[in-house]
Amino acid sequence: MAGANFFERQAQARRNTLLLIGLFTLAVLIITLAINLIGFVFTRNAHPGTHFGQWLLTQQGIITSVTVISVILLGSLVRWVDLAAGGERVARMVGARQLDPSTRDEHERRLVNIVEEMAIASGIPVPQLYVMDQEAAINAFVAGYSPTEAVMVVTRGALTELTRDELQGVVGHEFSHILNGDMRINVRIIAILAGILMIGQIGQFLVQTGAYAGVGRRRSRDDDKLRGAALLAGLALMVIGYAGVFFGRLIQAAVSRQREMLADASSVQFTRNPEGIGGALFKIGDKTGLLTRTSHASDMNHMCFAESVKVGFASLLASHPPIDARINAIQPGLLARLKSRQRHHAPAPSRAATQEPQTLGQFATAALAPLRPGNSQTGLQLAPQQRLSESAGQITRANEDYAAALIRQMPATFRDLLYTRTGAIQLCYALLTHELDAKARDTALALLDDHHLFRPQADLLDRLYPALNSIGPALRFPALELAMPSLRRLDDEEKAQLLLQVDLLARADGRISLFEFALTSFLGRHLTPGAGRVTPVKYRRYKEVLPALALLMSLVARAATTDHHEAKTLFARVMGPFLERDDNTIHLQERVSGNDLRMALQKLSQLSPLLKPAIIDACGECILHDGKVDTREYEILRLVSDQLDCPMPPLPVAHSGH
C-alpha cells in the first residue's frame, strides 16, 4: 500500500468496507449465539432432551435470534442516520467548537495557515476546522464521507504543545486519511459499534431497573422473582456486552492499524520532515493522547491520531501500533535521537527556520517556470515522463512550497474577505467579472438579486479585483478553495440562491466560457444537498462509457491544438487505448455543449476508481503534448479532476530539481 497511487488506495478503501461488513456479520452471529445460549440455559427445563442446536430452531430460539439481530441492526441504523450529516455531526458529537478562519489566536492561526497550505497543495477544498477546547491531550482526527466535506478536529493540547513542524506532521497525517478514503469507513465503524454495544447497554439498563425496582414500597414474592430475573438477565447481557466491546475493539484494530502506519509515512512524504510527525508522536508518548472530556472517546478511538482511550490487551485490540514502533517506522534511529534531545533539553531543528522566504514569483522562477503577474498563461514546464494521474492525492514539496508562496502573495484584505460568508459570495462574483471592462461588469452585476446577502457590494469587489488581476489565473481556484469553509456555512436555501446567482452571472453575455462552466460545476458539486456523498460505482468497463469519453477527449484535444487536423490526430492517439480493434464508430466531435459535457462527466464519475487514472492521463497527454499548460487547458484539468473525485494539485508538475 505504501507505493499505491491515489486510485488504488480508493479501491482499497472500498474493499475495506467489505472487510468491515464481514467482521460486523461475524460479531452479530457470535453475540446472537451467546444470547441464545443464555436463553437455552434458562428454558432447558421446558425442553427436556433438547440440545442447543435443536433449541435454536424452536419458536423461542427463532424469536430470540430475530430480536437480537433486530436490536443490533436498529442500533446501528439509528446512529448511521444520525451521522448522515457527515463530519460536522461527528465534530458536534464530541463537543468541538468550529474555528473561525479569521481567528487572531496565534495557535489557531498557525493551524489555519498549515491546513490552507496543504489543501491548496493537494487540490481539495479547505476542510472545516474544529477545536476541542477542553482536551489538554495531544490528538486530532478527520471525519466525513468525502474530501469535499471533510472536517478536521484538533485538541487544544495539540495546538499549544506542538511546534509548527510537529503540528504540520499531524495535519499531514490527517490529510492522508482524507486523500486515502479512510474517513468514510471510520464514520461507518462508529455506526456499527453502536449496534454491537447496544446489547450491553440493554443489560446495564436491566440491572439498574432490577436494582431500583420496588425501592420505597413493599414487594411481593412475585416482585422479587421479577427483580431477580431482571438482574440475572441484565448481568448476562452485560457480560455479552463486554464481548461486544471486544469485537468492537477488534474491528477498530483490524481496519485501523495498517492505515495509521500508511498515514505516518504519507505525512513524511508530504512534509519532507520526519522529525515533525516523529516529534508529535514522541510528545504523545510522554503525555498521552487520551480524551477525557467526551463520552465518545471510545467510539472515536480508531479515528484519532493516537489512542484516545486506554485499551486492555493492547497488542491485540489497540487501534494504533505502539508509539515507539510508529516512530522507528518513520525513520530508523529517530526515537533515539528524540530521547537524546529530550535529555539535553535541545530544541528541535525547524525546517521553516532554514528556508529562505520566497515570493510566488521567486519560487515559480526557481522551481517550476515563469509565472508572471497578469500573464494569460500559467506557462508551467512539466517533466516529459510525468503522468498526470501520479499527481492525484499527492502533496509534493514543490506544490506545498508553491501553495505557501501563493498565500503569502495574497493581500491581507483579500484573504480576510474569504473568511466571511459575504466576502466568499463576492469572490464568486469577482471571479466571473474581474476580466470585464467597467461597463460590461456593471451590466452583468445589475442582473443579480438585491437580497442583502447576495447583492453585489462594490467596496468588497474593489478589494478582490486587484489581486485577481495581478496574480492572474493561478489564483482563481486556490482562492475558491480557501473560501469553501465560508460558503459551506450557508444554509441550503442560501446555497441554492448563490448557485442561481452565479449561473445568472455566467450567462450574462449569452455564452458560457470554459472557466465559467468549470466554476459553476465546482460550486454545484460542492454546495448542492448531498454533495459530500461518495459517487457510487456503476461502470466497470470503458466500453460502457465510450460516447461520454469521446465527447470529453474531443473537447480536450481541440483545446490543446491550433488546427482541426492536429486535433483529429491527437484525439485518435489518446482514444486508441480505449477502443477495441478496428472500431471506427468514435470520431472527434466538432461541437461540445455545456449540457452534453455535464452529462458526460457525470457518467465518467461513476467509473470504478481503477479505471479513472487512464482518463486523467489521456487528458494529460493532450494538455502536455506541447510541454506546457495554458490557462484554458488548466481549467479543463481542474474541471475533469474535480468531477472524477480526483484531488489534483493546483500545479501538477514535477520538481525541476533546482
Output the pLDDT for position 417: 94
Residue 207: is its pLDDT beyond 80?
Answer: no
- What's the pLDDT score for residue 301? 86
Contact 165, 279 (CB under 8 A): yes
Cell of 27: 460479531
- Rounded Cα distance between 345 and 288, Å, is 20
Q: Which of 469, 470, 457 is nearest to 429 (CA)?
A: 457
pLDDT at 365 over 50: no
Say if residues 238 and 303 touch (Cβ distance below 8 Å): no
Taken in order 445, 501, 149, 83, is the CA torsion positive or negative?
Answer: positive
Query: Does the pLDDT of residue 148 top 60, yes or no?
Result: yes
Q: Is the pLDDT of residue 583 over 80?
A: no
Q: Is the pLDDT of residue 548 over 90?
A: yes
CB burial of residue 252 (10 Å; 0-12, 13-18, 19+): buried
pLDDT at 498: 95
Checking if the pLDDT of 167 tops 90, the result is yes
Residue 277 pLDDT greater than 60, yes or no: yes
Question: At 97, phi and psi to the nearest 5?
Answer: -105, 135
Q: Any idea what DSSP says for residue 147? A: G
The single residue of 117, 166, 174, 400 carrying the catalytic annotation is 174
DSSP secondary structure string for all residues of 594-616? HHHHHHHHHHHTTB-GGGHHHHH
- Tell me whether residue 400 is one of the annotated catalytic residues: no
Which of 58-67, 358-367, 495-504, 531-540 has the highest average model confidence (pLDDT)?
495-504
CB 465 within 8 A of CB 434: yes
pLDDT at 210: 60
Amino acid at 16: N
Q: Give me 388's grid cell.
A: 498526470
Of 95-99, 209-213, 329-333, 419-423, the one with minimum mean pLDDT is 209-213
What is the distance between the alpha carbons of residues 191 and 188, in angstroms, rounded to a whole number? 5
Q: If pLDDT is split at 50, 70 and 90, which confidence band does 355 have?
A: very low
**Confidence tier at 351 by pLDDT (50, 70, 90):** low
Of residues 35 and 532, more confidently modeled: 35
Overall size of the chain counted in residues: 658
Phi-psi region of 582 (alpha: psi -120 to 50; beta: other; left: phi over 0): left
Residue 420, classified by CB atoms within 10 Å of its CB into exposed (0-12), middle (13-18) or buried (19+), is middle
User: Where residue 121 falls among pLDDT bands split at 50, 70, 90?
Assistant: confident
Question: Which carries the bigger pLDDT value, residue 47 or residue 61?
Answer: 61
Q: Report the alpha-carbon angle 329-335-338, nearest 5.
A: 140
Measured between alpha carbons, how far is 154 from 306 in angstroms, rounded to an integer? 12
Q: What is the pLDDT of residue 201?
A: 76
Which whole number is the average pLDDT over 595-605? 91
Q: Could you tell me the sign of the dihedral formed by the alpha carbons of 143, 144, 146, 150, in that order?
A: negative
b/e per residue 427-465 (b: at least 16 CB within 10 A): bbbbbbbbeeeeeebeebbeebeeeeebebbeebbebbb
pLDDT at 220 over 60: no
pLDDT for 66 equals 92
Ordered by start, the domain boundaries in the chain are: 85-349, 365-400+534-643, 405-527
pLDDT band at 161, cuts 50/70/90? Answer: very high
pLDDT for res 348:
67
Please say if the pLDDT value at position 634 is more than 90: no
Angle at 313 between CA 308 and CA 319, to 5 degrees: 40
Pairwise CA distance, residues 623 & 636, whole Å: 9
Which of 522-531, 566-575, 631-640 ranks highest by mean pLDDT? 566-575
Find out whether 182 and 13 touch, Cβ atoms under 8 Å: yes
3-state SS, one letter per residue, for 481-515: HHHHHHHHCCCHHHHHHHHHHHHHHHCCCCCCCHH
CA 577 from centre of chain: 32
C-alpha span between 8 and 13 (Å, rounded): 9
Poorest-confidence range of 3-7, 64-68, 152-156, 531-535?
Answer: 3-7
